[in-house]
Chains A and B, each alone.
Chain A
Amino acid sequence: MIEDHPRVGRLQKDAVTESIVLNMGPQHPSMHGVFHMQLELSGETILAARPVIGYLHRGIEKLAEHRTYAQCMVLVDRLDYISQYCNEWAYCRAIERLARIEVPERAEWLRTMYAELVRVTSHLMWFGSVGLDLGGWTPVIYAFIPRERIFDFFEATTGSRLMPNYLRFGGVKEDVDPAEMEALHAYLAKDLIDALDEFDGLVTGNEIFLSRQRGLAPMTVDQAHAWGVTGPMLRACGSTRDLRIDTPYGVYDRLDWESCTDTRGDALARYSVRMREMRESAKMALQCIERMPAGEVRTKVARVLRPPEGEVYVRHESTRGELGFHIVSDGSPKPYRFRVRSPAFMNVSSLPHLCAGAKISEFFAIFGGIDNVMAEIDR
């Protein structure tokens, strides 16, 4: 309970002042998307926080029921537009499991490569917004330079920077030009690592940054499980849960990598897990480019797919945590029910507990570590 929080309890007992309610968002310069947070303040201390969501509700789950399976891919891109390939892959895996479609070897490698690349871009975006939240303009602009470079690769190979619609049931849309792949390899091996080192110099070692993040909003594994927190946030409090290892898919079991964890559970731990994940993901993408076998990238699937009657739930390690697709098919070309378990939604539910007793300026430091995407929360 928020009232049991030691800092809040003491404040409430001694306070003779009135608390004010501050509406943070949905229009606020550093809200990520249209998130609305009602903060009850005593001075600068947050007594209670109530997240208000739904400003970006587009009814994607309902819309999907009126579209064929292939058309749903377009919607899936727009769920979490920062990690598009992860969404597409999770959705493809669900349908492939439902309709028993085989995926060629090369397509699995390609999918893994794209998913890891998008994890890098997503975390770069997060890094930039952490900088913005803490009051510095430089990190976000530095972070966008490598991000744009990887997006250039996406655009050259899939046709779109943000909404690729690239994965298909039973593979990917088309093969990648080897020249593009080579250029990307050169970039990932050197320039990206240099850029990450630069970010470390700019932010990670900075005493001001450390003073704002260390020990902030600690979370234990039990709390994280109780609140349904997954992904880098969960791994930052000591859990080793990573669906890429626990329920292997793609070619993760054939790559040489390790899942990044931390035991401290505070905002700094969440930061350092994501920073290290970027390097691991870049490493994995490099390995994919090096070891990718030649071959088909797509099995032939009917253009209008009619999966057999049944239902399926697929869990996927997206950049923000455990992304789930629950799809019920009634044998028609359109899904009967299309349900998304969004990782950011669950992660945001921990926010009121984390910020009780914090200061206004700490709020954004905590909020930045959650790395939410409203499009996915509101759907």
Chain B
Amino acid sequence: MFGQGLLKGLSVTGRRMLGKTECDMYPYRKRVLPPKSRIFLSMRATPDGKALCNACLTCQQGCPDNVIRIEQDPEDRKRAVSFRVNSGRCTFCGICEENCPRHALTFTQDFERATFDKGTLTYALIADGTATGACVIVERTEPEHPASAEGGEDVG
């Protein structure tokens, strides 16, 4: 009968009108993102300020968007002097994290980093050879498991 669908629609919205709402009340209640969520790049470091990175440059060369800038120690090529991340360019693809043979890279779930100055989006994970405050402190020093992908030669 004509009008049935119209009444059905009213009943649907009428029920919802009296039901409960489904919103995340964002600034008041924050969402906890799942641990796999890729938000900002960070590095694992030991409590005494030593980053797990051994400056193999895999991440720098594998990154599609030239986000990572690593400076190797000229004396000890297995040590990074600085490790800078220009997160304004990052597409959060996770290639760097996946390929890191030392399992040093990780992502934090801290998403509130909006800024008015895009210069502040570049941050250092290693400065002067020591891990900065942007790193995640872990107890163990050995990687959890060897890198998931087998190495080939590195082409940028």
Contacts and interface: CB of A to CB of B under 8 A. Distances in A.
Interface of A: 67-68, 70-71, 73-75, 77, 138, 142, 145, 155-160, 163, 165, 173-174, 198, 201-210, 298, 300-305, 333
B23 to A, nearest CB: 10
Given A201-B9, A206-B5, A206-B6, A74 B91 contact: yes
B151 interface: yes
A208 B9 CA distance: 11
Interface in B1-24: 2-6, 8-9, 11-13, 16, 22
A205 B64 CA distance: 48
A7 to B, nearest CB: 27
Interface residues of B, number: 35
A206 B155 CA distance: 58
A304 B155 contact: yes
Interface in B80-114: 91-95, 98-99, 107
Residue of B3, B9, B92, B155 with most partner-chain A CB within 10 A: B9
A-B CB proximity, top 9 nearest: A205-B5, A302-B152, A156-B34, A71-B64, A304-B152, A159-B36, A206-B5, A159-B38, A74-B93
Q: Is the interface of B mostly helix, strand, loop or mixed?
A: loop
Contacts of A145: 22
B64 A74 contact: yes
Contact of B92 (A156, A160, A207): A160
Nearest to B92: A160
A333 B155 contact: yes
B153 interface: yes
B12 A198 contact: yes
B120 interface: no
Contacts of A174: 148
Nearest to A156: B34
A205 B33 CA distance: 38
Interface of B: 2-6, 8-9, 11-13, 16, 22, 33-34, 36-38, 62, 64, 91-95, 98-99, 107, 148-155
Contacts of B94: 159-160, 165, 173
A209 B6 CA distance: 10
B6 A207 contact: yes
A138 to B, nearest CB: 6
5 contacts: A74-B91, A160-B94, A205-B8, A303-B150, A333-B155
A75 B93 CA distance: 10
Residue of A71, A159, A302, A333 with most partner-chain B CB within 10 A: A159
Contacts of B38: 159-160
Residue of A75, A174, A205, A304 with most partner-chain B CB within 10 A: A304
A210 B5 contact: yes
Contact of B93 (A138, A155, A165): A165
A251 B22 CA distance: 36
A207 to B, nearest CB: 5
Nearest to A207: B5
Contacts of B11: 201
B154 A138 contact: no
A300 B148 CA distance: 9
Residue of B12, B33, B150 with most partner-chain A CB within 10 A: B12
Contact of A155 (B16, B22, B33): B33
